[in-house]
Structure formats: structure tokens, C-alpha cells
Amino acid sequence: MSQRHKEARFTPGLRADMTPQQIAEMFDDFADDYDEEVLEKGLRAHELVGDFLATTYPESDRSSLKVLDVGAGTGFVGLKLKALGFTYIDALDPAQKMLDVAKTRNVYRRLICAFMDQNRVEEIETDFYDCITATAAFNEGLVPCNAFAQMIRIVKPGGRIVFTIPQKNINNAVEYRDRLLPLIDKLAAEGAWEVTAIPLADGQLAKSLGPGVLYSLKVNVSEKYFEI
């Protein structure tokens, strides 16, 4: 099997000069080994996001909620949510081979091969989802800051965008450094969303990712345009 851009799998800083096509190719070539390598690194972000949703949504409501798993990969979040009683879960990922593996989990209704960025995903209607989840997606070369406009569009007012991010990505990633936190605060000040930020200790996201944050952005509007 080809191993295109293998060195950038766990060294996101190397992705800065990669095109979206190259990012998708990297994850396509990673699909067969992804579960083994990620579990070896002790990834737990999907557990944290699932547990947060379980504390947010009563069990009696979960089967009726529509969830979009952004950067779904091979389906770790989907499996966790299904075990908690969520049944309407769609997957979005730029790597088709990742989605092919995720399909075998039998937890997703739709599997959409696309990036979550500033571009409209035509398959997704406005105000369609109750919640968006993203665990390893806020990483170099994946979800950019300007993707929030599309996330706001597809989440119903009152719905949530729930994601995790390592602190080192906030501090060091070209896409997020000096941009992500000011944007979150700006949109909160303008009434687009209400912010819950839960600090995560070293080891909670994974063995070697260091501390991080779980964000829950409760969306108040159907659409929001902004400049960054």
C-alpha cells in the first residue's frame, strides 16, 4: 500500500504546505492502520465528547437528535454515541477510504466525503443538525477557523458545536495561533453562540497530546458572516 505523506500523520506541523488533496490522500493511505495506531497512542477524545453529550442531552431525547460527526475518520465517535443511545448520526470526512471503514461500523446514516471549511456542503441543509462533534479535526490541514460559518449554518439555533483541541494546537498551529480564541470570543460577544470551555489535563485527550480544551458552542443564529 502507498504511504503518501506518512511523516505528517502525527506531525501536523508538516501539513502546512500540503494541499487539501494531499491531506485526503494521507488519510486514505492511513485508513487500514488508523485504529491500531490511534489506540496505541491512547486517544480518548471521542470518549470525552461522548460523555459530554451524555451529560447535556437526556437519554430520552438522544434517539431523536441529529448529530454530524466532522472528521469522522473510521468511526470512533459514532461508536461511542451509538452506545449512549444516539441513533441519528452522520459522518463527514475528506478521506473516502476512512469513510469506507466507518461504514462497516453500521452506526452512520449518511457518509459525506468532504472537508469542513468555508465552502458550502450542498448535501447538508441549513439548520439541519442538533449537534456537530469534532474530536481530532481541529488540527493542521483539517478544519480551518472559517469553517465556523458553515457549522453555524447547518446547526439549528439552540444546537451545539462540540469539539476538542490540544492546547499546543491553539498555541502553535498556523491556522489557530492568534486566531481561534479571538474568533470564538468575538462571535460570543456578537451573540452568535454561548461558550462553554472545559480545561483538559495532560493525558485526557491522549497519552502524548498534553493538556487541551473541550469546547461547547451553543449556537443562537442560523447564519453568521465574519472576517478573520
Q: Per-block average pLDDT, block size 10, for the chain (228 residues)?
A: 61 76 88 87 94 98 98 97 98 97 97 96 96 94 95 98 96 93 97 98 92 98 84
Please give the Cα distance from 81 to 189 (Å, whole number). Answer: 31
CA 140 to chain centre: 12
Other C-beta atoms closer than 10 Å to the C-beta of 201 total 9
Cell of 11: 506531525
pLDDT digits (tens, 9 = 90+) for 18-66: 888 898 888 898 898 889 888 888 889 999 999 999 999 999 999 999 9
Alpha-carbon distance values, 175 to 5, 55, 130, 201, 215 (Å): 20, 31, 27, 23, 17
Is the pTM of the predicted complex or chain greater than 0.85? yes
Q: 179 exposed, middle or buried (CB, 10 Å; 0-12, 13-18, 19+)?
A: middle
Residue 143 DSSP code: S
